[in-house]
Homo-oligomer: A and B are copies of this chain.
């Protein structure tokens, strides 16, 4: 089969790769209904994370089980499944604490930008549906695999509460899902920081009550103005740069929480400054598996429509164009059809 391989910065190719097979008895092989490109795929694509060897790309997935290892008990061939980008056994103490993304057996999914993929630790990672989903729900189910679950975790880590004031830093797909999550959690005010009209529109559709286009000092001033000088109860940091993190810290009220889900690149925090700001922080790779059953319920009942975050759909063979479109910010998030 053909799959997406990153050979170096800017060089992603759809090329011959081995068909996945069951390696461990806890593995499952799925035929992907759809895959997509993640904002985090752009770090190595842009040369900001090292690419030491050709990398099989893609960690977001949903689809149909085609083969199961001998130890797999919770899903069966033919069943439609959605899984987290973080592979976990869902039985270890960290999983039981709700932090499957720090599972003792944690692995990260790879190779999902391809027609078939191997999902290790299937019982702990996948959630199977009772029936085949309608075709139009595929994008939303796919979103649950990472970007929705990650935005949801950002809101959870930032302790979004009913009636609370939330700021979302970053208008990428995760930030937009953070807006959706905060809205579902009952936030009273959701301020999206965005300077791109299509993303602003989607943020408002997902529940943003205010848009702030300013950044840096002006962005801080605007947020303070909107919050009567107080700052936000909860801030979702969905970028991962030092600039965005400093922005987040400066707009969080004392005692407020930042949920940060952008993988930090070059972020250094001064302990004493953080101390006197009384900013609470919790971040990390999202334990999507914790939220997955609830998120799938919301999607299947058509309560939420996270799939709208995909504003470009391409055949998988055009994966290179998908990376370019996201790199150049021509697309928020690209869905790939096998």
Residues of A near any B CB (own CB < 8 A)? 93-94, 97-99, 101-102, 157, 228, 230, 242, 245, 253-255, 257, 260, 263-272, 274-285, 287
A94 touches B230 (CB 8 A): yes
Whether the Cβ atoms of B260 and A264 lie closer than 8 Å is no
The 8 lowest CB-CB distance pairs between A and B, nearest first, are A267-B271, A264-B271, A102-B254, A278-B284, A280-B282, A99-B255, A269-B269, A99-B254
Task: Sample 6 A-B pairs with CB under 8 A, ordered by A number.
Answer: A94-B254, A97-B254, A99-B255, A266-B271, A278-B282, A280-B281
A330 CB to closest chain B CB (Å) equals 28
Complex: A191 Cα to B281 Cα, angstroms: 24
Q: Which of A97, A157, A242, A260 has the most CB of B within 10 A?
A: A97
- Which of A260, A265, A268, A275 has the most CB atoms of chain B within a 10 A radius of its CB? A275
* Closest chain B CB from A302 CB (angstroms): 31
The reply to whether B228 and A93 contact each other, CB–CB distance below 8 Å, is: yes
Q: Please report the C-alpha to C-alpha distance between residue A271 and residue B242 in the assembled complex, in whole angstroms.
A: 9
Closest Cβ–Cβ distance, residue A96 to chain B (whole Å):
10
List of B residues within 8 angstroms of A287 by Cβ: 255
Q: A98-B255, A264-B271 are in contact. List 16 more A-B contacts (CB 8 A).
A: A93-B228, A93-B230, A94-B254, A97-B253, A99-B278, A242-B271, A263-B275, A267-B270, A268-B269, A274-B281, A275-B283, A276-B284, A278-B282, A278-B284, A279-B282, A280-B282
CA distance A94 to B278 in the complex (A): 11
Interface majority SS on A: helix, strand, loop or mixed?
Answer: mixed
Pairwise interchain contact A265-B272, C-beta atoms closer than 8 A: yes
Question: In the assembled complex, which residues on chain B have CB atoms less than 8 Å from the CB atom of A97?
Answer: 253-255
Enumerate chain B residues within 8 angstroms of A277, measured Cβ to Cβ. Answer: 284
Q: Are B280 and A94 within 8 A (Cβ)?
A: no
Contact yes or no, A278 B274, CB < 8 A:
no
Residues in B neighbouring A255, C-beta threshold 8 A = 94, 97-99, 102, 282, 287
Give A323 Cβ to nearest chain B Cβ, in Å. 23
Whether B269 contacts A278 by the Cβ 8 Å rule is: no
The distance from the CB of A105 to the nearest CB of chain B, in whole angstroms, is: 13
Selected contact of A264 from candidates B102, B245, B272, CB within 8 Å? B272
Smallest Cβ-Cβ distance to A260: which chain B residue: B275
Q: How far is the CA of A255 from the CA of B287 in the complex (A)?
A: 10
- Hey, which chain B residues are within 8 Å of A263, CB to CB? 272, 275
A235, chain B: closest CB distance, angstroms: 14
